[in-house]
Structure 1
Amino acid sequence: YHFYLASKTTKEKLPIFTVYALMTALMIAIGWSGEAAANTWDLLAIAGITGMNVIANQIAFWILGHSIVYIVWMPAIASMYYLIPLLVNKPLYSDKMARIAALMYLIFSNNVPIHHLYMVNFPVSVKVMQEVLTYAVVVPSMLTFFNLWATVKGASVKINLISMWISISFAGAIAAGVTGISNANIAFDSIIHNTMWVPGHFHAMIFYSIVPAGFATLYYMVPMLTGRMWFSSKIGWLHMVGYMIGTTMVVYGFDALGLAGLTRRAEVFPRTPVYVTPEIISALGALIADAATLAWLGNLVLTLLKGRTANLEGLSMGEAINTVALQLGAPELSGFSAPSVIGLIRAEENKIRSFFTKAKMIK
């Protein structure tokens, strides 16, 4: 694509969304190369063709172990870069910053496999190097979060399901990323190494950022692909609330189990409250999130069967997304819209203030 553009002597660049798609493709190639090397080595060793260096094999295996989180998160970042400027009707704050962040994600996502192997007998200098490299992954994330925040700053944002889901994806990436940063710390890793804290971290990334960006995308893509508006925006809001409550319970339960020392993939554990209670919380949370997602699925089926015509022909992408977003606005609460409820609260507040002002004057 770039050679083609160069031959046309044009300065056109790859769109930001496409840049992140390209980085994702490269991450897949690099990440799975380590997995392929480790698995091939296993088979050759079993067949007696080669020997086995267990530590080197583990390092090759874990090249994918870290990068896979970024492989599935990069499309979410791409969705943020694509949707947020359209929803706020403003250009991206810094195009160059977005491209630099994409390249840094590629560089740092695949070179930190040893931070999953801190308990292996590596030289301390190697472990410290890995800790520093892991913290370096924070830099492109901070560039991304600042860039998107600066884009939204000062804009008038309408509350709707699309803007809510993409906002959850933005905030959720920060919240989930914190548990990853702490996991990179050698001292803290000695406490939670290979425990349920690790699944808690990457489930938080999936539940709080990756999936919400996916839903933000689906909520505008379905009407565009099918030509039908969503059957019920209220079911959509119910889905969002139920999903977030349920997934938060799952992540909390996993993190609590990790801090209590329960190892990953443990099928048998002591029936003590420190383990049983988080297990129950996680299980109930999963049921709530699943029920909410089934509600979304039902809404999707009803949309395909009974949704009203979308009438998006001839609209630009931004106009089409904002048209769909308008239909997915905040639901009414007890006959009043959210702004009306706020207005009533303020009116009552003014009455109370007026009462005390008059009382002071009488006194």
Structure 2
Amino acid sequence: MADTTFTHSPATTDRGRRWVVLYLATTGLVLLLMMLAGLWMRLAQAGWVYTDPALFYQLMTVHGTGMVGIAALGGAAVLWHFLSAHVRLNSRVMGANFGLFLIGVVAILVADFPGRFGGAWTFLYPLPATSQGAWPAWAAALHLGGLLVIGVGFLIWCLELARGIIATYGGLGRGLGWHVLFGGSMRDVPPPTVVAATMVTIVTTLALIAGALVLVMSLINLAFPAVEINPLLAKNLIYFFGHTFINATIYMGVVAVYELLPRITDRPWKTTKVFLAAWTLSTTMVLIIFPHHLLMDFAMPVWAMAIGQVFSYVNSFPVLVVTGLGALAILHRSGIRWDLVSTLLLISMFGWMAGVIPAVVDATVVVNSVMHNTMWVPGHFHFYLLLGLLPMMFAVMIHLARGEDTRPQGSDLTALLYLLFGLGFVSMFLIGGWASVPRRWAEHLPEWQIWDQVASVMAVGVIALTTVFVAMFLVRTPAILREG
């Protein structure tokens, strides 16, 4: 049985606590700004506001890049907060990462608005250098440089997690529980949060290295156009980085489920060998399924596409099953009084598990050839993030806001409204994709606009409820810091 003693994290006191609070406050505010940018794009596609197409693609670039970055910042805060109960970490690393993050964000905003860069978060080679006059080379370089700076910050953060886990448990393999999985004593088993953190450390570090490599190559190409990159290699590196990095954010956030549900129900979350095997399998598979993004690239080796399709099916199950069933087992007949935190955590489990379904559908070759460049794809990742990752973050914010008071607080009806508006919003993406509405178009035909219009209304509801959750945290921020 895992150690079930719930200690207060060192991150909840002094400097570490301040960084966690600052990360989450920044996450909440930037989320709202990015949601407003997304709403503006949907309003433009709905025909309700006019937006110059060049500005639309600048907004699309900022929205996509910003959402990925802020998901990582919020996930990092959640993971750091709970991991610090098990592993001693140096809070100065949080400060360094935050400083580099701000520098990178400023660079990206200057590149994307005054500089007019609109190459999307994917920055696919050779688009940054061949904009046909849509943006100058310096804007592309500044955008890519900003991404590189942010990536360096998160790489430093990952290396600190690795150092802490190795110092405490004796190695990353032991952090994943391999010594127990392959015959060791259950008395030495790491808690679920450490297992998840080890997985995040491994996959995020590898993703960031790949991202840094292709960013440096692209910057060299911008400075010296004669130095060309193999386009297929560049695309593989970009999607290995992007797919793995954004997936890692929800693995960061899921520790909130492992830590908070046991506290709410007063039941332990046991680290079993099945649990350890599931996380080991996911560590491997999340690194090799990214070719499902390249199923339409005829130059890709067939074996790589086969891996992308087959393992996209399999990867969805191990961690989702042990986490979903584990959550249901803890909740079953627990007698808890449902409140905002517990309801958000349950919604996050639903959002994670259900959001995988349209992703697996799109990873099927015969479906992908028809659906991949449609609104189905943003429908899948909005589902996964809006109803999976974000409720985890909101639950942690509200948990911190209520401090030592563990009585049920907040209306679970608010969380259910968020679920309904969120489902309505993502459904419009999926229905549009089913109808073959193309993605990344600044203007939609009149017959497509009904889905954009409904999505815009749903987005207003999502933004309003997100504002409520974030405000609940921000108004309590001074008290949270004092309590530390």
TM over 0.5: yes
Taking the aligned partners of 2:451 and 2:386, their CA distance within structure 1 comes to: 18
Q: What secondary structure does 1:205 align onto? A: helix
Aligned to 1:346: none
Aligned to 2:242: 65
Match runs of 1:297-308 below 5 Å: 297-300=470-473
CA RMSD in angstroms, aligned pairs only: 3.0
Aligned to 2:384: 205
Which consecutive unaligned segments of at least 5 residues does structure 2 have?
A: 1-164, 172-184
When the two structures are superposed, what TM-score results if normalisation uses the length of structure 1?
0.73
Q: Determine if the alignment matches structure 1 residue 55 to structure 2 residue 232.
A: yes
Give the direction of change, closer, same or farther, for the CA distance of 1:148–1:258 in structure 2 (3 Å limit). same
Give the direction of change, closer, same or farther, for the CA distance of 1:196–1:87 in structure 2 (3 Å limit). same
Q: CA deviation at 1:156?
A: 2.7
Deviates more, 1:196-205 or 1:115-124: 115-124
| Alignment partner of 1:257 out of 432, 437, 441 | 432
Taking the aligned partners of 1:132 and 1:64, their CA distance within structure 2 comes to: 20
Aligned to 1:317: none
Deviates more, 1:139-148 or 1:282-291: 139-148
Whether contact under 8 Å (2:265, 2:334) holds in the other structure is: yes
Give the direction of change, closer, same or farther, for the CA distance of 1:98–1:109 in structure 2 (3 Å limit). same
Q: CA deviation at 1:74?
A: 0.6
| Alignment partner of 1:188 out of 353, 367, 385 | 367
Aligned to 2:334: 155
Q: What secondary structure does 1:247 align onto? A: helix
Q: Which residue identity is paired with 1:133? A: F
Q: Determine if the alignment matches structure 1 residue 178 to structure 2 residue 357.
A: yes
**Number of residue pairs matched by the alignment:** 301
Aligned to 2:195: 19
Q: What secondary structure does 2:317 align onto? A: helix
Whether contact under 8 Å (1:243, 1:290) holds in the other structure is: no
Deviation digits for residues 157-216 of structure 1 (CA, Å, limit 9, x no counterpart): 322222211111112211111111112111111121122211111111111111111122
Aligned to 1:30: 206
Larger radius of gyration: 1
Whether contact under 8 Å (2:210, 2:241) holds in the other structure is: yes
Q: Determine if the alignment matches structure 1 residue 74 to structure 2 residue 251.
A: yes
Aligned to 1:127: 305
Whether contact under 8 Å (2:190, 2:271) holds in the other structure is: no
Q: Which residue identity is paired with 1:37? A: L
Aligned to 1:357: none
Taking the aligned partners of 2:323 and 2:473, their CA distance within structure 1 comes to: 32
Q: Which has the higher contact order (CA 8 A, sep 6+)?
A: 2
Which consecutive unaligned segments of at least 5 residues does structure 1 have?
A: 314-363
Q: Which residue identity is paired with 2:445? A: P
Taking the aligned partners of 2:259 and 2:218, their CA distance within structure 1 comes to: 42
Aligned to 2:42: none
Q: CA deviation at 1:99?
A: 2.7
Give the direction of change, closer, same or farther, for the CA distance of 1:12–1:129 in structure 2 (3 Å limit). closer
Aligned to 1:84: 261
Q: Determine if the alignment matches structure 1 residue 241 to structure 2 residue 416.
A: yes
Taking the aligned partners of 2:470 and 2:219, their CA distance within structure 1 comes to: 42
Taking the aligned partners of 1:302 and 1:36, their CA distance within structure 2 comes to: 38
Whether contact under 8 Å (2:288, 2:307) holds in the other structure is: no
Deviation digits for residues 76-105 of structure 1 (CA, Å, limit 9, x no counterpart): 321112222222222225433333322222
Q: Which residue identity is paired with 1:157? A: I
Q: What secondary structure does 2:373 align onto? A: coil
Q: Which residue identity is paired with 2:316? A: V
Whether contact under 8 Å (1:228, 1:304) holds in the other structure is: no
Taking the aligned partners of 1:229 and 1:171, their CA distance within structure 2 comes to: 24
Q: CA deviation at 1:20?
A: 1.4
Aligned to 1:282: 455
Taking the aligned partners of 2:199 and 2:392, their CA distance within structure 1 comes to: 18
Identity of aligned residues (%): 20
Q: Which residue identity is paired with 1:118? A: L
